[in-house]
Amino acid sequence: MTNGAGYTDRAGFKSWYVVIICMLAYIFSFIDRQILALMIDPIERDLQISDTQFGLLHGLAFAIFYATMGIPLASLSDRVSRPAVISAGIAIWSAATVLSGFTRSFAQLFVARIFVGAGEAALSPATYSLISDLFPREKLGRAVAVYSMGSFLGVGLAFLAGGAVSALVGESGSFSMLGMEMRAWQAVFVIVGAPGFLLALVMIATVRDPGRSGARSEVLPISEVLRHMARERAIYIPHITGFTFAAAALFAVLGWAPAVLIRGFDLGPAQAGVWLGGLALTAGVGGVVFSGWAVDALTRAGMAASPFVTGMIGAVGTLLFAAALPFAETLYACLTIMAGLLFFASFPMPPSTAVMQIAAPPAMRSRVSALFLCSNSLIGSTLGALLVGVFNDTLFGGAGVALSLGLVAGGAAMLSAIILAFGCRPFARSFA
């Protein structure tokens, strides 16, 4: 087990430095994950694929290894240096993103996306575990919120970078890179994936594992982790299920928002990237920050179930804006609704993480986080992106993407709010 002797900076500069570096890694991960959505039309055209297949690329391909590799990687994170695990993950997903730019078929891009997910599976369980050892409970919400900001900073930068490259080369243009003739969307993958290698070096060179507070010297077996979760099932079942539906709503929005603007309002990828990039950087980041602040504020006010309550608020807000999306008749009305969707859909990130770090013993936090992320990815991410594509292909012929997105995101958010309500009393009773 990593020895944290001498690491005395409890929530000081060193602690916040770790959070900032991990947030940068989260930014890079979401850029590499999200860039696909902006390129939907040229990718579908060049690879001759349907909306359903695109939904598989955006959801299932990424989730397969992200979900299944998360648990063994989390076990590794409970044994060895967590910064080393994170650094290796960054290098793997960056290489897979670069390789995505050299794919020539649906199958090749599907495999590349699988390895993007495999690399990113190393990041969040190890980071959540690190943060819980660096910050006291009353500051945990803010620390997680700062880390979680990286998701929407990454989404925003992905849209802006993808739009900029698309504008530079042209949506259907091509040019030579590394001795190969490449389309615009292929060049985007290469350009956004390459900087990750530098961040991997910074992580391993500058971040030291602080050790695990309260952990036993031996690592607990996975069977004991599962027994703990079974004992506390009144907390974990609504937590995992409720936030998984919240994830389905969020990933449906992130995966199909560009298509809503491109198909519904005749925008090109460059214009859609500018609008959505700006919304992600303001509304999305704002929602994460406000959510983390709300968890801490409600905790200080004596509300022991503050993470569940905050998640419910986000779910209700997501439901309301998702229901309004199909009725947006102008671009500016649609953008206003998208801002509300991104703001409230981002709420679950800090509270879902806070529940795990409070409820799980230190020696098993990484694996509890991995099991949660397994459900979020394999079910939430996959279904959210896939169902919108299926509805487009089978019900609305691709023309009703706003209606498909509203139905999927709104339905998932409604289920999330209902299920999370069942976790409030058990969590408050056990951890007040």
Q: Does domain 13-209+221-431 have CATH number 1.20.1250.20?
A: yes
Please tell me the predicted confidence (pLDDT) of residue 3: 43
How many residues are given for the chain?
432
Average pLDDT value for residue range 152-176 = 73
Q: Which residues contact 107 (CB under 8 A, 6 or more apart)?
A: none
- Least confident range from 243-247, 250-254, 370-374: namely 370-374
How far is Cα 430 from Cα 410, in angstroms, rounded to an integer? 31
Query: Is the pLDDT confidence value at 243 over 90?
Result: yes
Greater confidence (240 vs 66) lies with: 240
Structure tokens at 52: 């359903």
How far is Cα 7 from Cα 4, in angstroms, rounded to an integer? 6
**Which residue type sits at 347?**
F
Query: Is the pLDDT confidence value at 178 over 80?
Result: no
Helix (H, G, I), strand (E, B) or coil at 247: helix
Please tell me the predicted confidence (pLDDT) of residue 219: 63
Give the pLDDT band of residue 75 (cuts 50, 70, 90): confident
- Give the pLDDT confidence of 381-419 residue by residue, as tens digits: 888 888 998 998 888 765 688 999 999 999 999 999 999
Average pLDDT value for residue range 96-117 = 92
**Which residue type sits at 159?**
F
Say which DSSP state 347 is in. T
**Which residue type sits at 280?**
A
- Give the pLDDT confidence of 185-205 residue by residue, as tens digits: 888 888 889 999 999 999 999
Percent of the chain with pLDDT over 90: 40
Question: Got the DSSP string for 154-190?
Answer: HHHHHHHHHHHHHHHH-TT-EEEETTEEEEHHHHHHH
- Least confident range from 94-103, 141-150, 190-199, 331-340: namely 141-150
Chain Cα centroid distance, residue 255: 11
**Which residue type sits at 108?**
Q
Structure tokens at 184: 């615009």
Give the pLDDT band of residue 223 (cuts 50, 70, 90): confident
Please tell me the predicted confidence (pLDDT) of residue 215: 46
- Least confident range from 58-67, 193-202, 217-226, 330-339: namely 217-226
Structure tokens at 104: 């020539």
How far is Cα 68 from Cα 87, in angstroms, rounded to an integer? 19
**Residue that is written with structure tokens 């615009």 in the block:** 184
Greater confidence (121 vs 166) lies with: 121
Helix (H, G, I), strand (E, B) or coil at 232: coil
Structure tokens at 190: 């290469």
How far is Cα 37 from Cα 112, in angstroms, rounded to an integer? 15
Query: Is the pLDDT confidence value at 167 over 80?
Result: no
Query: Is the pLDDT confidence value at 369 over 90?
Result: no
Query: Is the pLDDT confidence value at 273 over 50?
Result: yes
pTM of the model: 0.78
Please tell me the predicted confidence (pLDDT) of residue 6: 47
How far is Cα 174 from Cα 187, in angstroms, rounded to an integer? 9
Identify any residues that bridge with 260 across adjacent strands, giving them in sequence order: none
Largest alpha-carbon pair distance within the chain? 63
Average pLDDT value for residue range 88-95 = 94
Please tell me the predicted confidence (pLDDT) of residue 367: 79
Q: Which of 207, 293, 235 has the alpha carbon at shortest distance from 427?
A: 235
CB of 119 closer than 8 Å to CB of 100: no
User: Of all residues in the chain, what percent are helix, strand and coil, respectively (each to 5)?
Assistant: 80, 0, 20
CB of 226 closer than 8 Å to CB of 360: no
Average pLDDT value for residue range 54-61 = 86
For the chain, what is the total number of helices (H) and then of strands (E)?
A: 21, 2
Give the pLDDT band of residue 288 (cuts 50, 70, 90): confident
Q: How far apart, in Å, are the Cα atoms of 70 and each of 89, 118, 228, 246?
A: 11, 8, 19, 20
How far is Cα 246 from Cα 257, in angstroms, rounded to an integer? 16
CB of 349 closer than 8 Å to CB of 376: no
Please tell me the predicted confidence (pLDDT) of residue 214: 52
Query: Is the pLDDT confidence value at 290 over 60?
Result: yes
Residue boundaries of the structural domains of the chain? 13-209+221-431
How far is Cα 278 from Cα 257, in angstroms, rounded to an integer? 13
How far is Cα 303 from Cα 295, in angstroms, rounded to an integer? 9
- Work out whether the CA dihedral 408, 409, 411, 412 comes out positive or negative: positive
Structure tokens at 288: 């994460």
Please tell me the predicted confidence (pLDDT) of residue 2: 40
